[in-house]
Amino acid sequence: MKLWGGRFTKETDELVNAFNASISFDKRFWREDIEGSIAHVTMLAKQGIITDEDKTSIITGLKSILEDVDSGALVIGDEYEDIHSFVEANLIERIGEPGKKLHTGRSRNDQVALDMKLYVRSEIKEIRSLTVDLLKTIHNIMKDNTDTYMPGFTHLQKAQPVTLAHHFGAYFEMFKRDYSRLTDTLERMNYCPLGSGALAGTTYPLDREYTAKLLEFKCATANSMDSVSDRDYVVEMLNDLSLIMMHLSRFSEEVIIWNSNEYRFIEIDDAYSTGSSIMPQKKNPDIAELVRGKTGRVYGALMSMLTSLKGIPLAYNKDMQEDKELTFDAIDTVKGCITLFDGMLKTMKFNKDSMSSSARNGFTNATDAADYLVNHGVAFRDAHGIVGELVLFCIDKGIALDDMSLDEYKKICPVFEEDIYEAISMKTCVEKRNTKGAPGATAMKAAITANEEFLNNL
Ligand code: ARG
């Protein structure tokens, strides 16, 4: 059944039908479509636009469609143009005349604007809760690893020692921002478009605020033309999702590097790795690689949405139907990636010995050796030059700063004394760094307490 056709004398071309129809993908929000319709008729009856009997019969019919689709007794067939036609046709089939009143004071333009909003709203909530799961996993790893020393990198070169807790703490901050961005998006999209009609409102005395309240929005949208053509919130959500993927992708890249034969900082659980069909020794970090690879799809959805919208004059145009497939794909991709990444982190083993020996062998304590000299009256620029000489000496001998004898130290600079070893030990290097946000135990404890509070107050 079509929702239009009265003014047409010819059948629609088959190819046109297929090109125009959206049922194959918008059937995804059949629940939202029914939910919106129930709110709409409830309001119509309250306003005396339809009778209470009609309302009851429509709602009973809609609920029976909901149950039947849920149970599988009713299949959403591709012979309909879209989900709205499917629901209305089924309703009329089930309850007859009253079903024809469902669409009073409504257009598919405000209907689809509502359905998409309801769907995106519930998916954002779902993605937010997956983000919280991931934050909890990171938090637990942080708590267990405040003294797991490892090299911190700049330019992917060993720079200064940090801890695993500190390194993971950086990702905690990123995903915390992602969570708050999703919350911001929810806040800005919290206005109900239903009752905007095709573009210019309706002549029926609708109570749009009542419908908005029934559907748990803050209030009704302010301009009917904007209501039916606004997809800003889709762009915002895709931007939020792109940032989540960017963060996951950076994290994945580190997992891949840390899992390599050269690093061996981590061991990915067998359940989260795959093998090679030809090389028996291989255990590949495919999950991390796929997460990194799928990032492109989500960025693509964002670019696609922005581009589809940029030339659309007010109000609704069919271009807007293009808001769905890529958005659905981006949502599915992000949900899958967060879930898999979380599972991979939860089951991952950290090779603490490799991490700390890597930190010891990369001159990550060179800055602290220079600071030692500064604390003994040497100007920093001179200290920098002296420690540079020490490093050259060590590279030549294939040893670490910690392995030099005091005599060797003194030959390069007589200021060095026995306490240099303590001053450049990994523990000292990390534990003396206690400014807010630094890796020292005191600073880390404060960060972990703050994270705990954040998680407890969600
Ligand atoms: N399938 C359409 C969409 O997704 C529904 C709205 C149709 N409105 C219209 N005037 N043709 O945008």
Same domain, 56 and 167: no
CATH code at position 88: 1.10.275.10
Check whether residue 210 and residue 295 sit in a common domain: yes
6 inside domain: no
Residue nearest ligand 1's atom 3 by CA? 321
64 located within any domain: yes
Do both 348 and 298 map to the same domain?
Answer: yes
Clarify whether residues 266 and 330 are in a common domain.
yes
Question: Of 358, 452, 438, which Cα lies nearest the Cα of 400?
Answer: 358
Residues 440-457, mean pLDDT to the nearest whole number: 97
Residues 348 and 376 in one domain: no
The two structure tokens encoding residue 385: 């030059």
Range in 19-28, 171-180, 189-198, 357-366 the model is least confident about: 357-366
Q: 117 and 80, same structural domain?
A: no
**C-alpha triplet 230, 239, 258: angle, nearest 5°:** 165
The mean pLDDT of 175-203, rounded to a whole number, is 98
What is the average per-residue pLDDT within 23-32?
A: 98
**Is 112 near ligand 1, meaning CB less than 6 Å away?**
yes
For residue 116, being part of any structural domain is answered with yes
Asked if the structure places residue 157 within a domain, the reply is no
Residues 416 and 443 grouped into a single domain: yes
Do 55 and 188 lie in a common domain?
no
How many domains would you assign to the chain?
A: 3
d(CA 5, CA 347): 58
Is position 260 within any domain? yes
Whether residue 22 has its Cβ less than 6 Å from ligand 1:
yes
The string of DSSP letters for 165-188 reads HHHHHHHHHHHHHHHHHHHHHHHH
Mean pLDDT, rounded, for 80-91: 97
405 is catalytic: no
Indicate which atom in ligand 1 lies nearest the CA of residue 198: 10
CATH classification of the domain holding 397: 1.10.40.30
> How far away, in angstroms, is 71 Cα from ligand 1 center?
27
Same domain, 343 and 386: no
Top mutation candidate among 321, 324, 327 for ligand 1, by most atoms within 8 Å of CB: 321
Mean pLDDT for the stretch of residues 152-161: 96
Q: What's the chain's average pLDDT?
A: 96
Q: Residue 192: which domain range?
A: 109-146+162-352
Residues 99 and 114 both lie in one domain:
no
- Does 457 or 280 have the greater pLDDT score? 457
**Cis geometry, peptide bond prior to residue 315 (ω within 30 degrees of 0):** yes
Question: In a 3-state reduction of DSSP, which class is residue 379?
Answer: coil
Please say if 276 is a catalytic residue. yes
Would 152 be classed as within a structural domain?
Answer: no
Whether residue 158 is predicted with pLDDT greater than 70 in this model: the reply is yes
**Residue 4 confidence (pLDDT):** 73
Q: Same domain, yes or no, for 387 and 312? A: no
Please tell me whether residues 123 and 98 are part of one structural domain. no
Q: Which of 352, 384, 403 is the last residue of a domain?
A: 352
